[in-house]
Amino acid sequence: MGRGLAYAERDYPYLLNVPAVRLSADSADPLQFLRFAQRHMPHAEGEDFLPRALYGAYLQDALLRAEREAPPHTRLQRIFGEVRRVTPHASDNRLTAQFADRPPITADRVILALGNPPSPPHAWAEAVGGHSAYRQDPWNLPKTLGSEHAVLIIGNGLTMVDVVSALTQGTKGSPQLYTISRHGLIPQRQTSFRATNVQGDRKAFLACGDSTRRLLAMARELARKVEQEGGDWREAVTFLRHLAPSLWKRLSAAEQRRFVRHLRTHWDTHRHRIPPQVGDHIADLRRAGKLRVNAGRIESIVPQGEQLRVAWRARDGDTAAVTVDLVVNATGPDYMLKRSADPLLSWLRGAGLVAEDALNLGLRTGQYGACMDAQGRASETLYYLGPMLRADHWEATAATELRDHAERLAAHLTGNLPGELPRELPGELPGDLIEDLIENPTEGLTEGLAGGLTGGPAGMA
Ligand SMILES: Cc1cc2nc3c(=O)[nH]c(=O)nc-3n(C[C@H](O)[C@H](O)[C@H](O)COP(=O)(O)OP(=O)(O)OC[C@H]3O[C@@H](n4cnc5c(N)ncnc54)[C@H](O)[C@@H]3O)c2cc1C
């Protein structure tokens, strides 16, 4: 218990995408993870990108320590089972959790901390779901592939990077790799930038929080200035991400929609970056022609004996196809509550106890993650903690953001936050293009920002 999908022990040593010094599970003790890591890896330094499995061991250790150090009246009981329903009592406002295969539990408060939902259902997956050359689980890959094989990875995000890393480390040589996503943008590379270097004009950003276009312009300007002064655009992104929850709340529904439609992918690829060594490896593979990144929409996947033939329509309108020995689903989690296949989430939604936001980013929540019901009322007993907080905070996926939400919720539930309004959470803002403009003046930015914001082909209405 404690590792989850992200920090499980796996055959391949996937790396964290955040330096050790910024990953403490306790905001009051920022070096806690680094100290733990140094006990196992004496040469580890704060700026190192360490194995995710080590972070999993650290989280388990933190849980054990919390349990050991808890006051006598506090007890942690681990229960293994799948919760299918959470039902409020009409009489006393308590909740009962019903399990698939064990007796129910009644509680005063319930926190839904369900992690990442599975990836969305794809029409193309139906035809190949049971085919031996298709992998729905991107962390369960065959070990028999070598340079004579070809692989298509569907998705261009962090999961794709995991798949590429694992498939290119074997002794049999790297397979020929293809990737595809709608935009064809892949995560940017981390550097040893100074995270706290930029103190931008918060007031000025917040004052123009009603316009994605103006925010974008300011963000680009800030990144440009940082670079002109010898800094790194990532410093500007860090500044912006801390401001993002406040900015997100200030955007109108139309502006939020505009951001999601035109800038989301750009933001995500600049905000959620990959460790430098992984970034270098990806760049080497691309230079050598072993990794080809495509932009387009899958039209069909058809079995051809032991292989699969995948056809897509590229962004420029052309059609393309490859025949491969393996297709890997790396499309990432699906936060669209209304089509969730998760029995608990779909039951809660059906019962009106939780509700999605208008943009289908996640769950509507109030203060401290209190679930909003279908009528928009914040629950006093049912809470949510996890990436679907994005609906109200924009960015809530990285470990330290979730840690901050968790600390605030814990303080609230234990009465240690009397009357205090939540401080602003770290998060993000539509600033992504910033970096694109600087790094690839003619690529992603131009398309997403320039095209998007000026009403070009992909433009905003
Ligand atoms: C592959 C991957 C890599 C990541 N890497 C990084 C990184 O390098 N840096 C970073 O900052 N962030 C990273 N993240 C993001 C973030 O740190 C994780 O998403 C975070 O671990 C989420 O923790 P969680 O407890 O919310 O979810 P999880 O760790 O997924 O735990 C959810 C738990 O809930 C259980 N559960 C779900 N439904 C039910 C049910 N109905 N009944 C009972 N139990 C249920 C699950 O079995 C699981 O045990 C990564 C995420 C992923 C997926």
List pLDDT tens digits, range 286-343. Answer: 999 999 999 999 999 999 999 999 999 999 889 999 999 999 999 999 999 999 989 9
What does the pLDDT read at residue 223?
93
Phi-psi label, residue 356: left if phi above 0, alpha if psi -120 to 50, beta otherwise: beta
| Section 448-452 average pLDDT | 32
Place of tokens 């007031």: 203
Q: Whole-number mean pLDDT of the chain?
A: 88
Residue minimizing CA distance to atom 38 of ligand 1: 114
| Section 190-214 average pLDDT | 84
Contacts of 12 (CB under 8 A, 6+ apart): 162, 165, 166, 169
Buried/exposed code over 298-319 (b: 16+ C-beta within 10 A; e: otherwise): beebeeeeebbebebeebeeee
| Section 67-86 average pLDDT | 94
On the question of pLDDT at 366 being above 90, the answer is yes
On the question of pLDDT at 178 being above 60, the answer is yes
What does the pLDDT read at residue 126?
82
List, for residues 427-436, the tens digit of each pLDDT value: 332 233 333 3
Q: The dihedral of CA 423, 429, 432, 437: what is its sign?
A: negative
State percent of the chain over pLDDT 90. 75
List, for residues 105-154, the tens digit of each pLDDT value: 999 999 999 999 988 888 888 888 889 999 999 999 998 999 999 999 99
**What DSSP state is assigned to residue 352?**
T
Pocket test for ligand 1, best of 102, 116, 395 (most atoms within 8 A of CB): 116
**Is any ligand 1 atom within 6 A of the Cβ of residue 350?**
no
| Section 376-390 average pLDDT | 97
| Section 33-55 average pLDDT | 97
DSSP three-state, residue 36: helix
What does the pLDDT read at residue 170?
77
Contact predicate 180/312, CB 8 Å: yes
Residue minimizing CA distance to atom 26 of ligand 1: 115
10 Å CB burial of residue 33 (0-12, 13-18, 19+) is buried
Range with the poorest average pLDDT among 66-80, 191-205, 221-235, 236-250 = 191-205
**Is any ligand 1 atom within 6 A of the Cβ of residue 5?**
yes
**Nearest by Cα to 424 from 198, 195, 206:** 206
Runs of H (alpha helix) within 115-263: 123-128, 158-167, 202-207, 212-228, 233-250, 253-262
DSSP three-state, residue 231: coil
Range with the poorest average pLDDT among 53-57, 174-178, 213-217 = 213-217
With DSSP H G I counted as helix, E B as strand and the rest as coil, what are the percentages for the chain, rounded to 5?
Answer: 35, 15, 45
**Is any ligand 1 atom within 6 A of the Cβ of residue 63?**
no
Residue minimizing CA distance to atom 30 of ligand 1: 115
For residues 229 and 232, what is the distance between their CA atoms, to the nearest angstrom? Answer: 9
- Band of the pLDDT at 171, cuts 50, 70, 90? confident
From ligand 1's centre to the CA of 2, what distance in Å? 9
Pocket test for ligand 1, best of 5, 14, 268, 353 (most atoms within 8 A of CB): 5
State percent of the chain over pLDDT 70. 90
10 Å CB burial of residue 230 (0-12, 13-18, 19+) is exposed
**Is any ligand 1 atom within 6 A of the Cβ of residue 433?**
no
**Is any ligand 1 atom within 6 A of the Cβ of residue 160?**
no
| Section 437-457 average pLDDT | 31
**Is any ligand 1 atom within 6 A of the Cβ of residue 15?**
no
| Section 398-413 average pLDDT | 95
Q: Which two tokens stand for residue 284?
A: 């080497």
Q: Which two tokens stand for residue 176?
A: 């020929």
What does the pLDDT read at residue 437?
30
What does the pLDDT read at residue 417?
63
**Is any ligand 1 atom within 6 A of the Cβ of residue 1?**
no
Contact predicate 84/30, CB 8 Å: no
**Is any ligand 1 atom within 6 A of the Cβ of residue 6?**
yes
Could you give the domains of the chain?
Answer: 1-74 (no CATH), 79-108 (no CATH), 123-188+274-329 (3.50.50.60), 202-272+431-454 (no CATH)
List, for residues 368-380, the tens digit of each pLDDT value: 999 999 999 999 9
- Closest ligand 1 atom to residue 343 Cα is 41
| Section 219-244 average pLDDT | 92
More confident residue, 201 or 99: 99
What does the pLDDT read at residue 1?
76
CA dihedral (354, 358, 361, 366) in degrees, to 10, reads -50
On the question of pLDDT at 210 being above 90, the answer is no
